[in-house]
Amino acid sequence: MVVDMRYCRVQPLGACTIALVFLQSFVFAGNQGQNEEYLCSTSHLDPSSAFSAKASSTITVAVASSPSSSPTCSSNATTFHLSDPPYENYFYSDCHSSSHVVVTSPLSNSNLEIIGPRLLIAWPAGNSGVVAFFEPQNGANGSLAIQLENSTTTGQTLDPVYIPSKSSSGTPRVGISGFINFNDSAVLTVPILGSIRTIRDFTEGPSILITYIQDAIEFSDISNGGVSLNRTWLDNSTTTYLDFIPAQSAGSIKINRAINTTLQFEAGTYQFAASFDYPQLEQLSPPEVLNSAAQGLIRQSPDQTTSLSFLSYTKKLLAGTWRFLTYFGRDSMLSLLLMQDILSEGSGGAIEAVIGAVLERVNRTDGSACHEETIGDYATYLNHLENVTSTAPQCDYKMIDTDYYLPIVLKNYFVNTPIGKTRSRSFLNTKATVLVENAGLTYADLALIEAEKIMNSSAAFAAERGQTKENLIHLKTGQIVGEWRDSTYGIGGGRIPYDVNTALVPAALRAIAKLAGAGFFPSHPEWNETADMYAKVWEDETLKFFEVTIPRQTAISLITSYINASSFPGPSHTSNITSDIIFHGLALDGNNDQPIIRVMNTDDCFRLFLLNTTNQPQLSAFLDQTAEHILQPFPVGLSSPVGLFVANPAFGGDAVYAANWTNAAYHGTVVWSWQLAMTAAGLARQLGRCNDTSSPIPDFCTNANLHNKILSAYTHLWDLIDANSAQLSGEVWSWVYNNGFQVEPLGALPPPPGSSPTESDIRQLWSLTFLAVQREEF
């Protein structure tokens, strides 16, 4: 991955040196015969910047901090470029809007069945966007290449679109413009205008489009050989526009209104503009999203801090871009847990934005926390499917793990921090406003509703003689997913996930006990003792249900079978197996009547990071097997030169394991950044207990061999992290084997049979946690 940080100070519109650029050639559909005004600012490199303008990293960043109804921004815009071939990612943010532009152009070695020329624009507001899929008009598949070019007027790759509303109370049209070059004649085959969810469903599903949504796209000829596309959303109010016009002597664009309307482009450069008139979010700038002690990170890590800002808003943090540009409860709370030390506190800060967003969306009926929020055009579509005419947001409550993070983040902030303690009363008295069904409830009410759910659902297992499989936490009825490995084969059809039962439940119970002790649940003061008692049982008695022990010779045989079934071309490393292989399976009650999903995995990180268990024999054994997995190379362990694989199916004993957990599977033999971060932070937490004089020193600290093994695993893990620093801010990455492991974008690989291709986000919120998680010395 190449990072080209072309940061620029974009001069505010209205300043004496500013030029208003009138793109006279653009005439918008619905305004035929009138030239609309695109307000684009000139820009320059600031020679006084502390960053010298050289190579691919240049000057400072200043981000607009608040929306404005005026075309003039008082703050500077931010632009940057991230290269991850075949994907080129461009970002633009100012006081009016934020945009992510993705240009996909196949490489010589690209799988042309899943990689094709594409222009995509994603907007955080409304989780909205547009996409245009292209193909060569006359040449062979793979011959068409597209790329963005800098404006000859402003010198920028992207410039803003701002068109004031004709009504004083209306919403202005905002968006982005740029220049796209085609190396040969091209056809725009499929445009999608409106929702990122619609685009995501199309690219990752069976490529089925909703007829009445697609048929609403209007195609119009405009002046100077251009074409305008627009679509009014299902709310009958918002409209998305995508316009193209020839530039630099390129030929006119032709509309082909055959069975499916397409556009025909000659080779050359065309200006595009994408815009919409939807209420925007209030973005947190890098200085606003970080606390005072972490301001230095803006200079030290400009890419990551600017990416964090792009995903951070005053009312919520977004999961990732482009595919998950909306609220995800699990993602935002996991990110908070790993980054709390650097995030801004108090009213208007990032921490309270995360916690408030989760509380707003708690299901008041059963206490479930919202996994994913659906807003904008897609929310109207889902409401329509239920015969409801409404633009109200919808929440996905099918996950079971999201519930357990909420008490932990509440405790970590409102009980453990000085500012949180002073903020708890006013914050918890806040009235919910996001979901109509939560009207009248305070954040304190919603926190209590969820805590009651956790206490009630954990009571049976904690009861005397209650430690049975039946009393563990199961996926919800009818669901095949329920925790972070939420793809079809993520946990192999298992009904009882490892991470939830062995780590999240006891950690949430410990947090509820602390919250109750601090007076957060006045109707349940007894929870300060009851929740702790429950937590101890869950900590000590759940691991045994998931333990897998494979004798040495059987393990060697299983790896040989796996290599044959998967055609893995690398070494087997079976000579490293000198004793039984021990790990904890992903889940219980899996597909094909499997009692346990025998996949070695990185989910040990949850216990490492969230719990300080005191069952000494169990803790020592757990740390020993965790360190072994980190130190051993795949397929014996989880280690590879591209990072730790989140799944190793080599010991499954059935060919279906090799088929379902591949290097092209979303939760297969691939690397997830945040799991590296949580594993590193978890090992540091456990090693740190050896120097903590406030509590008894764990036994492993005085076992020299074991302590050294854990420390070696920690060092090895950080060596892998440092070696893959170019990938760390992305969501997930994969590999190909060519005389060794080589990093490969997940979306560039053909998916397993029966699955759809999965494209990784170039920036994911929980993958920015290495801003806070750093190598420690022990």
Q: 403-430 pLDDT, tens per residue?
A: 999 999 999 999 999 999 999 999 999 9
Kindly report the average pLDDT of the chain as a whole number. 90
CA distance linking residue 764 with residue 761, whole number of Å: 6
- Residue 75 contacts residue 93 (beta carbons within 8 Å): no
Query: Distance (Å, rounded) from C-alpha 537 to C-alpha 376?
Result: 44
**Which residues in 611-640 are b (16+ Cβ under 10 Å) and which e?**
bbbeeeeebbbbbbbbbbbbbbbbbbbbbb
Q: What angle do CA 686, 339, 601 make, to 5 degrees?
A: 50
Task: Examine residue 286 and state whether it is found in any structural domain, yes or no.
Answer: no
Q: What is the mean pLDDT of residues 332-352?
A: 98
What pLDDT score was predicted for residue 62?
A: 31
Helix (H) or strand (E) holding 720: helix 704-723
| Average pLDDT of span 639-650 | 98
Output 742 or 759, whichever has higher pLDDT.
742
Regarding whether 205 and 322 lie in a shared domain, the answer is no
Predicted confidence band at 31 (pLDDT cuts at 50, 70, 90)? very low
Q: Which domain holds residue 741?
A: 542-771
Residue 561 · residue 532 · CB < 8 Å: no
Checking 719-723 for CB contacts under 8 A at 24+ apart, the result is 720/639, 720/641, 720/643, 720/644, 720/676, 721/643, 721/676, 721/680, 721/770, 721/775, 722/775, 723/641
CA distance 91 to 78: 8
Residues 378 and 304 in one domain: yes
Q: Is residue 152 part of a domain?
A: yes
> How high is the pLDDT of residue 519?
96
pLDDT of residue 139: 87
Q: In this structure, is residue 532 part of a structural domain?
A: no
| End residue of a domain, out of 483, 517, 551 | 517
**527 close to 513: Cβ distance less than 8 angstroms:** yes
pLDDT at 755: 67
> CA geometry: angle at 83 spanning 80 and 89, to 5°?
55
540: how many CB neighbours lie within 10 A of its CB? Answer: 15
* CA pair distance 140, 409, nearest whole angstrom: 54
pLDDT at 229: 98
Q: Which DSSP category does 11 fall into? A: P
Q: Which residues contact 409 (CB under 8 A, 6 or more apart)?
A: 333, 336, 337, 354, 355, 358
Query: Which pLDDT belongs to residue 457?
Result: 98
Confidence bin at 481 (pLDDT 50/70/90): very high
Sign of the torsion formed by the C-alpha atoms of 447, 450, 456 and 460:
negative
Would residue 492 be called left, alpha or beta, if left means φ above 0 and alpha means ψ between -120 and 50 degrees?
A: left
Indicate whether 256 and 317 sit together in one domain.
no
- pLDDT at residue 370 in the model: 98
Task: Annotate 142-157 with three-state secondary structure.
Answer: CCCCEEEECCCCCCCC
Tens digit of each residue's pLDDT (9 = 90 or more) over 170-223: 899 999 999 999 999 999 999 999 999 999 999 887 788 999 999 999 999 999
- Convert the pLDDT of each residue in 81-92 to its tens digit: 999 899 999 999
Q: Is residue 175 part of a domain?
A: yes
**Of 708, 734, 494, which Cα lies nearest the Cα of 603?**
494
Q: Which of 502, 517, 532 is the last residue of a domain?
A: 517
What distance in Å separates the CA atoms of residue 774 and residue 777, rounded to the nearest whole number?
10
User: Which residue, chain included where needed, has tokens 């251009």?
Assistant: 226
Assess if residue 123 is contained within a domain.
yes
Report, as an integer, the average pLDDT of 316-345. 98
| Phi (first) and psi of residue 456, to 5 degrees | -70, -40
Residue 78 in domain: yes
Say if residue 364 is in the same domain as residue 474.
yes
Residue 37: which of 26, 53, 48, 52 has the closest Cα?
26
pLDDT higher than threshold 70 for residue 256: yes
Residue 86 burial class via C-beta count within 10 angstroms: exposed 0-12, middle 13-18, buried 19 and up: buried
User: 109 or 699: whose pLDDT is higher?
Assistant: 699
Looking at the structure, tell me whether residues 140 and 29 fall in a common domain.
Answer: yes
757 — pLDDT class (breaks 50, 70, 90): confident
Say if residue 270 is in the same domain as residue 348.
no
Q: If you compute the radius of gyration of the chain from its CA atoms, what whole number of angstroms results?
A: 27
Beta bridge partners of 547: 584
Q: What is the pLDDT of residues 117-151, one digit of tens each?
A: 999 999 999 999 999 999 999 989 999 999 999 99
The model's pTM is: 0.90
Q: Does a cis peptide bond (omega within 30 degrees of 0) precede residue 86? A: yes
Same domain, 589 and 653: yes
Helix, strand and coil content of the chain, in percent to the nearest 5, comes to 35, 20, 45
Same domain, 271 and 305: no
With pLDDT > 90 as the criterion, what percentage of the chain qualifies?
Answer: 84
pLDDT band per the 50, 70, 90 thresholds, residue 35: very low
Could you give the number of structural domains in the chain?
3
Distance CA 690, CA 712 (A): 15
CB-based contact 307:361 (threshold 8 Å):
no
Which residues are CB-neighbours of 774 under 8 A, at least 6 positions away?
none
Q: What are the DSSP calls for 122-177, one per residue?
A: EETGGGEEEEEEEEESSS-TT---EEEE--TTT--SEEEEEE--SSTTSPPEEEEE
Residue 291 belongs to a domain: no
Peptide bond into 206 cis (omega under 30): no
Q: Write down the pLDDT at residue 4.
A: 40
The verdict on 118 and 202 lying in the same domain is yes
Rounded to whole angstroms, how far apart are CA atoms 478 and 457?
Answer: 18
Same domain, 601 and 745: yes
Position 749 scores a pLDDT of 87
Last residue of a domain, one of 458, 484, 517: 517
How does residue 36 score in pLDDT terms, banded at 50, 70 and 90?
A: very low
Please check whether residue 39 is in contact with residue 20, taking contact to mean a CB–CB distance below 8 angstroms.
yes
Residue 274 has pLDDT above 60, yes or no: yes
Contact 763, 728 (CB under 8 A): no
Read off the pLDDT of each residue in 725-750 and give the average, rounded to a whole number: 93
Q: What is the 3-state secondary structure (H, E, C) of 303-346?
A: HHHHHHHHCEECCCECCEECCCCCCEHHHHHHHHHHHCCCECCC
Kindly state whether residues 570 and 659 are assigned to the same domain: yes
Res. 378 pLDDT band, cuts 50 70 90: very high
Tokens of 323: 């595919």
Q: How far apart are the C-alpha atoms of 412 and 57, rounded to whole Å?
A: 36
* Distances in whole angstroms, Cα of residue 264 to Cα of each of 112, 131, 187, 214, 374: 21, 16, 5, 19, 34
86 and 35, same structural domain? yes
